[in-house]
Amino acid sequence: MEQTDAWKEEFGFDLLAWAPLPQPTQFQFYSNWLKEQRHGDMKYLETHAPLKEDPARVFGEARSLISVAVLYKPHPEPLPETPTGVRLAAYAQGGDYHDWLSARLTSFAEALKSQHPGLEYLVATDSKPLLERDLANQLGLGWTGKNTCLIHPKVGSFFLIGELLTNIDIADFTAPEPVPDFCGKCTRCMDACPTGAIVEPRKLDATKCISYWTIESKSIAPEPVRSQIGDWFFGCDICQDVCPWNEKALRLKPSALVPRSREQEIEDLRFFLTASNREIERRLGASPVLRGRPRGLRRNAMVVAGNLGLQDLKEEIARWTTDADLGELARWAFEKISRAPAS
C-alpha cells in the first residue's frame, strides 16, 4: 500500500492498482452491443473487436496490468486556449488526455524500468483496443454504473482511465478488492438523459447520445435528437452530473471553472462559424475539442445557436444556408432563430 501511494503521489494518479493480466469478462456483452448496431458509424470498433477479446493480442509480451485513474473535475491540465463560453464535457476543459495522461504513464513505466531492467511495456489510454473499463473494474477501480461509467465510491466517476501492459510478473501482488455495485434502484442517469440514450441499465445506444453526435459522428444529428442536444457544444455530462456518487465526491473538490456568460458563448460560437479550418486548428492547439474537427465544430455551433435562438448569430448562420454540406442544418438553425423571441 505504501508503494502504491508513493507512485500515485509521484506521477499524479488518483487511483492505481495492478494484477496479473486479466481477461475481459464483458466481451460477449460488447460483441452483442456491436451486433445490435449501438455503435453508430464508429466502424473501427468492429475492426478492433477481436483484439479486445484478449489483451495479449494488443501486446504479446503482456503478463501484468497496471490500471490508473486521474480525476478531471476540476481539470488537472488547464489550457488557456480552451473555449470557455461554450458548454463542454468536463474532460475537454483542459489538455488532451491522450497527451498528458500518456506522458504520466510513460514516466511511471520508465521509473519501473529502472528497477526492472528487462521490463517492456505498452502505454494505453482509450487509443488502444482494450476493454479498459472492464479491466479497471476487475482491478478494483470501481463498478460499472447504469450510465456505463466506472464509478468509485470515494471519487465518483469524473476520472480518466489509463493502463500499462508489462512483461513482468508482480511478485508482491495482492488481489484487488472488488467494488460492489452501489447503483441499487437509482435510475437518475437514465431518467435525466434527454435523448434516452441509456436504453437499459449499463447499455448505451451511441446513436442517441449527445456525446456521439457532437464528437464522434461525422453526420448531422436527425430530429428530434438535434433539438435535444440543447446547448452542449462538445460532449455531455448529464448522466454523470446527476449521479449521487458524484454529488458526494464533488462536494469535496468543487469545480474551479468560471461560470459561462452569454456574451462569451456568442463570441465563441461566432468564432467557430466564421473561422477557417487553420484558424480553428491553431486556436485549439492541444485541446481535445479539436477531435470534433473544424467541420464538426461548425455543425455543433449551428445546433447550439439554433437551440438557443441566438439572434446575434443570425447573419453568421445565414451565410451557410446555401452550403452543399451544412446548408440544411444552417436553414434549420436560421428558422429556429427567426422564430425565437427577441432577447
pLDDT digits (tens, 9 = 90+) for 17-31: 999 999 999 999 999
Tens of pLDDT, residues 255-284: 444 567 999 999 999 999 999 999 999 999
Residues 105-122, mean pLDDT to the nearest whole number: 94
Query: Above 60 in pLDDT, residue 153?
Result: yes
Taking the C-alpha atoms of residue 250 and residue 303, their distance in angstroms, rounded to an integer, is: 30
| Residue 249 pLDDT class (50, 70, 90 cuts) | confident
Provide the pLDDT for residue 256.
Answer: 44
Query: Above 80 in pLDDT, residue 343?
Result: no
Provide the pLDDT for residue 175.
Answer: 67
Taking the C-alpha atoms of residue 147 and residue 192, their distance in angstroms, rounded to an integer, is: 10
| Residue 33 pLDDT class (50, 70, 90 cuts) | very high
Query: Above 90 in pLDDT, residue 248?
Result: no
Catalytic residue selected from 126, 231, 241, 312: 126
Taking the C-alpha atoms of residue 336 and residue 321, their distance in angstroms, rounded to an integer, is: 13
Query: Above 60 in pLDDT, residue 77?
Result: yes
| Residue 173 pLDDT class (50, 70, 90 cuts) | low
Query: Above 70 in pLDDT, residue 314?
Result: yes
126 is catalytic: yes
Taking the C-alpha atoms of residue 205 and residue 216, their distance in angstroms, rounded to an integer, is: 13
Q: What is the 3-state secondary structure (H, E, C) of the chain?
A: CHHHHHHHHHHCCCEEEEEECCCCCCHHHHHHHHHCCCCCCCCHHHHHHHHHCCHHHCCCCCCEEEEEEEECCCCCCCCCCCCCCCEECHHHCCCCHHHHHHHHHHHHHHHHHHHCCCCCEEEECCCCCCCHHHHHHHCCCCEECCCCCEEECCCECCEEEEEEEECCCCCCCCCCCCCCCCCCCCCHHHHHCCCCCEEECCEECHHHCHHHHHHHCCCCCCCCHHHHCCCEEECCCHHHHCCHHHHHHHCCCCCCCCCCCHHHHHHHHHHHHHCCHHHHHHHHCCCHHHHHHHHHHHHHHHHHHHHHCCHHHHHHHHCCCCCCCCHHHHHHHHHHHHHCCCC
Provide the pLDDT for residue 250.
Answer: 81
